[in-house]
Every structure is written in C-alpha cells, then in structure tokens.
Structure 1
Amino acid sequence: MKKVKGWFVVFAVGVSLTAPACAQPATPAPVPDEIPVALLVDLWTGQQLYAREPSRRFVPASVTKVMTAYTAFKLVGEDKLRLDRHFLYTQALEEEWYAEGSNMFLRAGERPTIGQLLLGITTVSGNDASMALAEAATGSTGAWLELMNANAAALGMSDSHFGSPNGYPDGGKTYTTADDLVKLGRAVTMDYPVLFRRFFGHRRLKWGDITQANHDPITGQVEGGDGLKTGYTSEAGYTLLGTAERGGRRLIVVIAGSPTARMRDAAGRNLIEWGFRDFAPERLFAAGSEMGRAQVQDGEARSVGLALDKDFAAALPADPANTMKLAISYRGPVEAPIVKGDPVARLQLHDASGTVVVDAPLVATEDVPKAGLFRRIGNAFAKWFG
C-alpha cells in the first residue's frame, strides 16, 4: 500500500485498460495552438476526452443564449411559462435591437409566441428575441438575469456570471468556463430532452419575409449533430458549444477564443469525430461490485469492504499505447464506527499521464462498530509489530 499526500492508494485492477481491438487506431485530436480553450466531454461517462484550459474564464458571446434557452425550458417544465403565449413586441425593443448583431428582425406590434422567440434564439441567435423572451417571461431584464444566475449556481457553474440575456458586450459582466458550459449543455440535453429536440437542431428559420440559416457547424454537419450555439464578438473571438449523439452516446465540445470562425468550426467538428472514433465507451463494473478493502482504525474489524453504488463506465482509448489504470483512493485508515453504505473511498481511472479522468464513490459493504478498549489495544499492537 502506497501513501501519497495523505491518501492511501491501492491498485484495484492490476491490468491496463484500452478499447476493444476492433476500434480504429487513435490519432491526435486536431486543435490548433491558436485556440486557447478546448474541451471534449463524454456525457455518458462524464469523462474529459480532451482538455485545454477547461477552467479558464472567457467571454461566451452568443453562447450565453444557451442559458437563456435553459432558463425558459425550466420555466416551461415548472408550468410557469407557456410556449403558445403571445408577446407584444414593443417600439422600445425595436429601436434598441432591430438589426443589432444577429437578429430575428422582429418589428414593433408583432406578437410572436414564446415558442417562436425560442426558435429565433436557438436557430438564428436573435439578440432581439432574447431580450423579448426575458421581458415576456419575467417583466424585466433584471428579473430574468436573476433567474439565469440562480440557475447557473444550481447547476454548479461556479465560474460563470451572466450580465445580459443575449451575450452582447457588457463590459465583462458575462463570463464562463468550458467546464461550466459542459454542465449547462448536459442540463439542456438531458434534463429537457423533448424541448431540446424541439428547439435546437434546426437548419434555418423564416420570420416574415426573411429566411436565415443556422451557423452552428455541428448541427447537420457531423453525424448525430444537433446543437447547440456559436458566438462571436471582437472581445470574445469565436466560441462554440456543440453536441452530437450516436447510438445513445452524447459528446459535448467547447471551443473558445478562436481567431477565426473557420478554425473554430473545423476544431469543433474534428474533436467530435475524434471522440466518437478513437474512444469506446465500456461499462467496466456494475453497481454493487466489491472493488477492494480499506484499512479501519479502532474498529471491531481491521478492514472494510468497498463497493460501487452505481455502474462504473469509461470511454477507453483505442490506441493500446494509451493505457489507463484503476486505483482506489481514501484517506485512511478509516476511523470507526462505519455504517454500511457510508462513502469511504473513491474508485479512480487514471490516464497515461496520471490524471484522474473518471472518479466514483465507493461505499462500505458492512457495519464496523467502534472497538472496545482491549480490542483497540490489540489492534495497536498488531499494527506496531506487523
């Protein structure tokens, strides 16, 4: 048993893990050096397949609108907002937002429904539609922003803040990270799958006499691509939150700070294709599998069994040179008393560099009461003398 920084590390599986031999040989994920932030995550396993500065803050630009869509989805799910409800678009909104950046080109006096505004946001990135939705749903932009930021906090987006519903330049009030955008993408696609399919993934939108195309480089351009949003401002550069699903497996990609749209689009598509091609998802262990034992201090037993409380899955690399290893980590010995089901350790999957890529709790398989005085003395002697 090896002690590392206060944690006992026990190798639970003495073999290296790679994808099945039938998988294609792995190739490097092609992300140009000019792109400062890139992240690819397998939502089925929660595993980062590729990461470059995932916790670095940046300005998301129009990718902000994914949080606006999520906030609307949540209100719809709570029966606080109806998709068929009409909103009277005002002269003040037209004067401020008509043809201002990406636009649905709404006019004063028009009465779009909430559903139509959502399509304007998710398909053609309407700045005007975003502001109209905020006002229609809550009565003011300020109230809508409170909802957006409360939702971000509830999703664990601890490095994000939203200062506008549409991502228009706001002096740095709006910022996020790739890690946080993956949490948002997971919530949109998995918490509201019906609404996601209804409002994301459309290739064009017509409003009045104006037909516009969706600029998302993932939707309809890679197999299974169905969202989510691009963004651009001179301050932010070119950004992307994209996703694709194949065979029930969903990947999410984030690109931020790209100097050109072409580079962003190519990097996003290439990462998605690489993730599907060069990693194979596997359920390694079923829930309830006992993975090892942890030492116990001052207990009636000197060790306790450790089991998974849910399935343990990973996306394994196809390249046999890129192996992964499993380890059990815990701060120990674990002090008694211990109750069956208590989380006392972690099962961790390490990549070739030693980075933890999948992490899951291990729970006690039995009760271990605190030992009496004489048992504790006996345990101490046993420890001292081996």
Structure 2
Amino acid sequence: MSAEPDLPQSLDGAPIALMLDLGSGRVLFSREADRRFMPASLTKIMTLYTAFEMIEEGSLSLKQRLPVRDETFREWSGKGSTMFVPRGAAISVDTLLHAIDTVSANDGCVVLAEGAAGSVEAFTDLMNAKARELGMNDSHFNTPNGWMDEGRTYTSARDLATLAQAIITRHPDFYARYFSQPSFSYNGITQNNRNPILGYVDGADGLKTGFTNEAGYGFVGSAERDGRRLVMVLGGTESGRARKQIARDFVDWGFENWSALRLYGAGQNVASVPVQGGAESKVMLKVERSVFATAPRGASADASVRVRFLGPTEAPIAEGERIASLVIETADGKTSSVPLVAAEAVPAANWWQRLRNGLVGLVT
C-alpha cells in the first residue's frame, strides 16, 4: 500500500482545506472539512447557483433587466466589493452574474436578489432550499453577498465542494460563461478578477475568493487537465498573499502527485436497472463526466467498480435524474463514488404498458 503524497509546506497556513477529484469522487486531502465557518463572499457561489437554477426553471432570464432601488443604492453604493451600480439603473441579469463572480459585487447581489425574488429574504429562502436539495447540511445563508451578519451565514468546506460540483456538472455552460473571465467592465470602470489561480495555473477556470475581517481569506477553485477535474476549498488563511501561494501549490500538488486511470468516458452508459411502473421496463444509467480511478502517483491505479442503488427505481424518471452511484475501489483499499444518472426519461406507464409489463414479468 502506497503512502499518501507529501503535502506542500504552504498548506500549513490553511486551517480549513479540502481537495476533491470530481472524476473519481475521491477526497485527496481533508482538514476540518465539516467545520462550520463564515464564508464571506464565497456565499456568492450559492447566489449564482440559485440564479442558474431559476433561469433553468424559467422564472428568470439572462436578458431580464432588474431595477436598482433607491434604498439599495443608498445602502450598498461603494460598500465593500462593488460594480458601482448607478442610482435608478436597470441592469440585465447577465451583467449582474458577470459582476458577482468576476468582481464580487455586493451591490449586484442585492439587486439580483430583490429583482429575482422580490426581496433579499425571499431570495435567501431560495438559496437555503437549494442548499438543502444538494445535501449541504452544514450551511445556512442569511445574505446573498456574505456581508458580515454575526455568524448567521455559515458553511463548510465539504458543502462548498458539493456546491462547486453541482455548478460544474449541472450548469456547465453557465460555469464556462461566468467563472473564468479575467476582468469585468461596467459604467466606465474595469476591474480584474481576484481568482488567484486563473491565468496562473494550467487548466484553472473558476470559482471564487472570499474575505472579511471575521472570516479571513477563503477560496473555492477548480482546474481541469486532460479531462480530470479537481475542486479545492480553502478557509481562514491569514492574507491574500498566503491564499494565493497556498491555492497554486495545492492544485499543482493534486495533479502532480496523484495519477488517474480513465474508466469511463463522459456520458458513457454503465448499467441498466429495472423500472417500476414505467412506460419502459428498464432505464440505462450513465456517468455525467469522465470517470477515473485515482491513486497516489507510483501506486497501482487498478480498480474494481460496482453499482450502488439509492432505492427502488420508480417512474416517472427525468433524463439526468440521479438513480445510483458507481463505487470505485482502488488497489490501496480506498473507496469513492460518482453519481449515475438516467440516460433517458421514462414516463409513467399507461394502462396498456402496465398490462404489457405485467405479462412480460410473468414469462421472464
């Protein structure tokens, strides 16, 4: 059995740290991953995810223009990170989303929340509902921008990794559109992206930094090389300079000290499962992205796989609905898992299909 790779020395400066290989589901490193902490502007990743979900559900559109209320202008003009929204302006959702990720616009978050849901409170209710759907059990969001609120907004590194994975997997087009812009220009002002790995680390393409005096310096980042994607979370580092060095060292460590054996290509079918009460008797399950067996470099990457079902599979089933997990066990005895989703939709059976399925069941 091979030893875990030596960690970069700079990582000692991160009280909270997590690295996840999305292709295998393997946690490459974890320190205080379930400890609750104040996320500061990392909150905005949840704000963006909630907006992406609303757009997909049809309750919000990119071209929709949202008004800047006078009260919002007075409270948030020039307060912390800002996109410098003008009083009385109407700003497109697309512009707000760019500003929220690229320049961490506190004012833009409030304009988005009020315009999309009617109030900040209604929008944070949506944020918390979406967090519960993702299983983010150590998170609560009281603001859309992470501004200091006496600890009522909190999260954990594991929850933030879950959130990053959801954005990358469920909303790949939005991820590509909003998380890798080097700068943002609005109202005659250009500001640079604060992401410490973007443009400096091979394959880096997201996500976001966070800082308040209470929370310290945090970061959620991701990079992809040769189809293999890593997500990292850092919390509580002492300075922006330290965060930058730790983030760059950490992601390079993940790629350079771990090897990956490709098991399945993105979208490849893996297994089928019987469906109860469906128009079809079975549904094919596929992986969402390329799947790897991950092991310390120099160790055997041989692996065995098995399918673990979440429970009885009952129609109706939506295309892309999570049905099972693919469990991967590597030669070093470590197990991890990635989701298996329905390759196609299966509607509920009509009376004729129920009769047909019953007759087939009698003879098979």
User: For the superposition of Structure 1 and Structure 2, which TM-score range results when normalised by the shorter chain?
Assistant: 0.7 to 0.9
The CA distance in 2 between the partners of 1:97 and 1:186, in whole Å, is 31
The reply to whether residue 98 of structure 1 matches residue 70 of structure 2 is no
The CA distance in 2 between the partners of 1:163 and 1:281, in whole Å, is 39
Partner of 1:41: 20
The reply to whether residue 80 of structure 1 matches residue 59 of structure 2 is yes
Partner of 1:259: 238
The reply to whether residue 358 of structure 1 matches residue 336 of structure 2 is yes
* Percentage of matched positions with identical amino acids: 40
- Counterpart of 1:177, as a letter, is S
Relative to 1, partners in 2 of residues 1:242 and 1:102: Cα closer, same or farther, differing over 3 Å?
same
Written as runs of structure 1 = structure 2, the 5 A alignment for 1:268-283 is 268-283=247-262
Written as runs of structure 1 = structure 2, the 5 A alignment for 1:131-280 is 131-280=110-259
Return the index of the structure with the highest Cα Rg: 1
Asked if 1 retains the 8 angstrom alpha-carbon contact of 2:260 and 2:301, the reply is no
C-alpha deviation, 1:17, in angstroms: 7.6
C-alpha deviation, 1:265, in angstroms: 1.4
What's the CA shift string for 1:257-290, capped at 9, x where partnerless?
A: 00111111111111111111121211469957xx
Residue in structure 2 matching 1:115, options 73, 94, 98: 94
Asked if 2 retains the 8 angstrom alpha-carbon contact of 1:350 and 1:358, the reply is no
C-alpha deviation, 1:26, in angstroms: 5.3
Relative to 1, partners in 2 of residues 1:197 and 1:171: Cα closer, same or farther, differing over 3 Å?
same
Alignment TM-score, normalising by the size of structure 2: 0.76
Alignment TM-score, normalising by the size of structure 1: 0.72
C-alpha deviation, 1:316, in angstroms: 1.5
Asked if 1 retains the 8 angstrom alpha-carbon contact of 2:73 and 2:85, the reply is yes
Written as runs of structure 1 = structure 2, the 5 A alignment for 1:323-334 is none
Bigger relative CO (Cα 8 Å, ≥ 6 apart)? 1
Shifted more, 32-41 versus 159-168: the winner is 32-41
The CA distance in 2 between the partners of 1:196 and 1:271, in whole Å, is 22
C-alpha deviation, 1:348, in angstroms: 4.1
The CA distance in 2 between the partners of 1:148 and 1:189, in whole Å, is 17
Residue in structure 1 matching 2:42, options 44, 60, 63: 63
Partner of 1:379: none
Q: Secondary structure at the match of 1:220?
A: coil
Flag as ranges the 4+ runs of structure 1 deviating above 3 A: 29-32, 283-288, 308-313, 323-329, 345-351
Relative to 1, partners in 2 of residues 1:359 and 1:69: Cα closer, same or farther, differing over 3 Å?
closer
Structure 2 stretches of 5 or more lacking a match?
Answer: 272-284, 307-323, 340-364
Structure 1 stretches of 5 or more lacking a match?
Answer: 1-15, 19-24, 289-307, 330-342, 362-386
Relative to 1, partners in 2 of residues 1:179 and 1:29: Cα closer, same or farther, differing over 3 Å?
same
C-alpha deviation, 1:28, in angstroms: 2.7
Q: How many residue pairs end up in the alignment?
A: 302
What's the CA shift string for 1:118-176, capped at 9, x where partnerless?
A: 11101100000000000110110111011000000001101111010000001111111
The CA distance in 2 between the partners of 1:80 and 1:27, in whole Å, is 48
Q: Secondary structure at the match of 2:206?
A: strand
Relative to 1, partners in 2 of residues 1:350 and 1:357: Cα closer, same or farther, differing over 3 Å?
farther
Q: Secondary structure at the match of 1:62?
A: helix
